[in-house]
Every structure is written in C-alpha cells, then in structure tokens.
Chain A
C-alpha cells in the first residue's frame, strides 16, 4: 500500500485501502494523547495554517491540537465572511497563504469546492475541513475509526444516517466512506431533506425513523440547522423532533449494541433525547477523541509519501 496524496479533498477520491491506512495510522497516534507528555517531535519545523472561512470551534481546535501534538507550528486564520466581501478573490488569498510557505493548509469554507480551488492554486498540501454541503472528510474518518474500534470492522454493518442529508457534508463523506468499506447504508428524514437521486449514491432511503432504525448497528444523528426551517425544509422544529428524534423508545428497534453517534454540537431534545445522548450506547465523546488522532494521522501522511 502506497500513499502518494498531496491533498485530502474528499472521501470520494479515496480507495478502501487508503481509508484503512489512515485509520491504522490514527490508531497508532491515539496513544500520544493519553500520555502525560502529549507531544511527539514528528512534525517539528512544519507549519500548518488553519484557514477557516466559516465559524467552527470544534474542528479548528481539533486540528490545532493535532498539529501541536506533532510539534508543528499551527496558525489560525479566521475570516467570518468570504474573501470576496473584502474585495479579495480566493485566488488572491491562496497566493498570499502560499507566500507564507506553510506545509499544510487546512481549509473550512462555506462554499463547496473551495478546497479544490485552493489545491489547484497552491503547491502546499490541502486538507478539507468541511466545504459547504459537499464533504467533511476528517469527520467521516473519525466516525469510521470510532465504529471500527468498537465493532472490529466496518464491513457488513447496518449504518443509518438521520437528518438533513441534502445539506449535510457529514452525510456525504460518510456515505462515500462507509460504502467503500462495505457497510449497508440507510438515510432517513423527510423527503425535503433528501437530495435528488440520492439512491444513486448507494443508499436506501426511508422517510420513517422507526423503519430506518430496524436492526441498525450504528445510528448517526445529524445536527439540525434550525435556520433551515425558514426555507421550508421542514414545517417546524417541534414537528421534526416529534418524528425524527432518537429516543428511548424508537432505539429499541436497533440492535442492542447499537452505537449512537453525532458530529456535534448536539441539539438535545431535537435530534436526540438527552438520555440517549448520554446513554451507554453513545460514543459521541469517543468521536471527539478519535478526531484528534485522525487529524494527526492525516498531517503525518500528507507531509510526505509513505512507502
């Protein structure tokens, strides 16, 4: 298995072997975070720019910790609005970032495809930390790592993803990744949250949560963006949670050892009831821990080819 990639733009481009290598490497890095001295000299002298053009505390912090634990210098550049608003094109911004000679640029952007554009313009490694509703590859990788460490495999598992699939980059990346790894996927939510031709991506579609939860090994609840309500994707938060909130009753349909996952932050009582979010099946905090290890693995892998 060789790793030759310069960028991680999406899970869609990766092979199953590459996903496995990332997960294996992440498992090796997991131990570093449990030490008293949580730092290894692996990326000493490397510079990582976290370029966040969309608010995100969790993902940015996770990347920052990952970089620091590898002894890289991490710099955060946040922009609350797009570069366009400042009268600077993304191409200008990219050339400016490139001129600072970082080794890796981690980009979060509200526009799908912005990391791809950056990757075309600069020679540095680009990691997509979430682009619009397109992909959030590191989230899917940490999700797959969490499932694999709990279940021993991804192949053959029934994974149900519930929520606004149309607007979810987490859903897309997980669909691409879990499909490659041999899981059986079901997406659930009202039809307004299902993008056109979603079945062609290799998933089953269910409009009823109870049906979608049947025999599930894993259930991923997506965060509901409450502002979507205004676009009439669903009539009201009240109605959404009445039909699509994971709770102590409907979870009985899933396998007893079902893993409950959520990319965070959780809207308690909207997409998931508090007793389930904090319950024995929940691995939500494990996801966060694994997120640091996955990002360490990617920073390592992208700063040089692996033989």
Chain B
C-alpha cells in the first residue's frame, strides 16, 4: 500500500530542502516529492501533516543494544523499538557485549536478530581488538563482510599507540572509520565524575578532562600521520573541542560526535549523588558545556549521537561509586536536541544534518536524505507538542534517564522504515 505524507514541513539538509512538500511512498521507496500531490487511486493512505515536520530518518551512530550477553539491560528488539520511538531509522551498535563483537559470528548474530525484529536498520560496530583488550587486531575484513560498518573498542581506550596506528591504517584500507574511546585510564583511574570544583565539594574522585584530551591528542596525531579517517566519540570537554577544531583546520580527516547530555547537563547535577547522572565521560563543567554547544554551532562537532547506554534498575539503585555509568538516550535525543534549535544555536536543517545526514555519511550507510528512489526511511515529529519524560513508559528496558520528569517539546509522531510504519504515536 502506498502512503502519501501530505502538507508537512520537509527538511532535508542533503539538498538544502526546507519547505512544505508532499511525499509519496510506494513499495517502500520514496516515489515522489512534490509541492502538492493528491491521491487519485483511492488506494493510498493519506497522512495529513500540516504543522508537522518530516525528516530523513534519524541515524544514531552510537548505541548500546547489550545483546548478546546483557539482555536484562536491553535486547536488539527492545533497543530497536526504543530507536523507532525516538525517531531513529538506523542505529549503529557498539561491540561491548558478551561476547564482545570481535568476530563474524557475533556480527552475523546481530544482523540476523535485527532482521528478525524487522524494525530499524541495525549496523554493528565491531571491536578494534580481540575482546577489546587492546592487544590483537580483530579481523576487520571478515567483520566488514559480515556487516560491520566501523570499528571501536568503545568503553575502553586502545592504550597501545602502535596498535592504534595499525588499526587506523588497516581500517582505512577497507574504507571504514575507527571510533576510539578516548580516555587515559591512568589519569581517570578511580574517577567517578568530572574533576573540578564540584568533585572537590562532593569528595568524589575526579576524572579530569585531561584524561580525554591526552588521548584525543594522540589519536589526532595518529590520524594526521596515517591519513586514516578517525571519528571521535562522545566529546565532552572544551579542550577536546578546541583540539578537534584545530585538527580540522589543518585538514586532518577527523569527525566528532557529542551526546545530548553533554550539551544539556553539567556536573552541578551531581550534587544529590543521583546515579542517573553518572556517565562516562562524565558530565563536565558549565564552561565545557558552553564549548560543546559552540562546537556544535561552528561545525567542529559533526554528529549528535545518543550513546544510549541502557541499564537495569539494580545497576543504578546502588551507591554512586558502584552504580553503572550510562544514560538511556534513544527516546529523549531528538527533543533534547531540538532545544538547540529553540536556543538559536542551530537551524533545524543543521540539526538534522548532525542527527541523520552526517552520521550516515561517516558510516557510509544508506539514509540521511530524502531522495526519490531511495528507501523511505522517514521521521515525522510534532514540533509544538510538549511531553513529560516518563521512562517507565519507554520501549527501552533502560529506564536510567536523568531527564525523568522533564517537560520537553517536540514529539516523534511516526517513524517509517522502508515505507513501513515502525512507530506511530497513539
């Protein structure tokens, strides 16, 4: 059955499109985009979207689906449902599962499970090193053939600089990007939150911004030397933004992402020792948040990714020190990011670029644009609708949100993958 999306504001940064258009979807593909179309056959489902916004499906290049191994936190199905509810049509899942996704078997398992769920596109990110132990390179070529779209030891840094160099070189020969987790463990050891005035007040061991920046500096040098593509994940500090900005200016092939919590929250939120604010890298100072926002504005930060890190209640209902790090982010990412548009920091088109076009381009996967003939991966949201964040009603198993009870504006109404409605409000 064909669908006609009628009267919505269509935003596609890939072709500088921002205006009221109708989109006709036939056989899972975008058949036409035009100023005005009408159903002549009587067999088309017409969806009236006056006042609503239509986007190329959102792409989250940094998600943790927890399966295999930690199905009590999230599964490929629950994570895919959460993604659809959050307006994402494609997600890339990190390899820190159990077993670690360092082999064709695990990659194929993820692809197969995602296919069975048949909700959103799931793209595995495979490990850089076996078991993400930082010693032996994983079989990049085999992993790519099995479906891996990038490599990362997310959660752990590649300490060995020689190995990191080889990883960059090898991945570049396959045309894939390396996504490092930048953290110098000797500087962050024992740390639980950003090091600064607040950690000093609270007596919690600090994680200095330095721990992130030292590693980013090294990886930028390696990217410059090898010429290999590098994508810096979860950038949290002003120093990191500054270094990445300089590196880009010098032509180093680097891209970078941040997550909504880094441009929304600061370490001051930790004053109540609430573990839902515990995340790694940690929430930083107001100055860092300001720099992150500036980095988004000036294009230093190419991507907003969720770093969706679902946890079970028992992982968080413990002492701050013992609580798991991470924020369940798929179902709040769009609304939190729309605040950047409200604040005048980004245009809606620029935001969509960071949440759809750019991540698709960096991972070299389909999507990120609304093109006739392409798969109809489309997100529709109501820009004026306010809603209260209630994780207990979420699709994700991870209810660990620091935004519990917040009122956010901008609600996803409909998510289509290959022309099929995979999420619909009400």
Contacts and interface: CB of A to CB of B under 8 A. Distances in A.
Given A89-B314, A116-B272, A196 B206 contact: yes
A90 B318 contact: yes
A12 interface: yes
Contacts of A12: 201
A113 B204 contact: yes
A91 B273 contact: no
Given A89-B314, A90-B317, A196-B195, A113 B322 contact: no
B268 interface: no
B320 interface: yes
A82 B208 CA distance: 27
Chain B, interface residues (CB within 8 Å), range: 20 to 34
Contacts of A83: 318
A91 B314 CA distance: 9
Given A83-B318, A89-B314, A120-B272, 19 more contacts: A84-B318, A84-B319, A89-B318, A90-B319, A91-B317, A109-B319, A111-B320, A112-B203, A112-B320, A113-B204, A113-B273, A114-B320, A116-B272, A117-B319, A132-B321, A197-B196, A198-B200, A200-B200, A201-B201
Interface string B195-221: 111011111111010000000000000
B319 A195 contact: no
Interface of A: 12, 82-84, 89-92, 109, 111-114, 116-117, 120, 131-135, 166-167, 169, 172, 195-198, 200-201
Contacts of B319: 82, 84, 90, 109, 111, 113-114, 117
Nearest to B320: A113
Given A116-B272, A196-B195, A197-B197, A134 B202 contact: yes
Contacts of A166: 200
Given A195-B199, A196-B200, A201-B201, A112 B321 contact: yes
Contacts of A90: 317-319
Interface of B: 195-197, 199-206, 208, 272-273, 314, 317-322
17 contacts: A84-B319, A89-B314, A90-B318, A91-B318, A112-B273, A113-B319, A114-B273, A114-B319, A116-B272, A117-B273, A133-B203, A133-B204, A166-B200, A169-B203, A195-B199, A196-B200, A200-B197
Nearest to A134: B203
B273 A196 contact: no
Contacts of A132: 203-204, 321
A200 B197 CA distance: 7
B197 A196 contact: yes
A84 B316 CA distance: 11
A111 B190 CA distance: 12
Contacts of A91: 317-318
A111 B208 CA distance: 20
A109 B318 CA distance: 12
B197 A112 contact: no
A180 to B, nearest CB: 14
A112 B203 CA distance: 7
Contacts of B197: 196-197, 200-201
B199 A117 contact: no
A174 to B, nearest CB: 13
A89 B196 contact: no
A132 B201 CA distance: 12
A64 B378 CA distance: 65
B201 to A, nearest CB: 7
Contacts of B205: 133
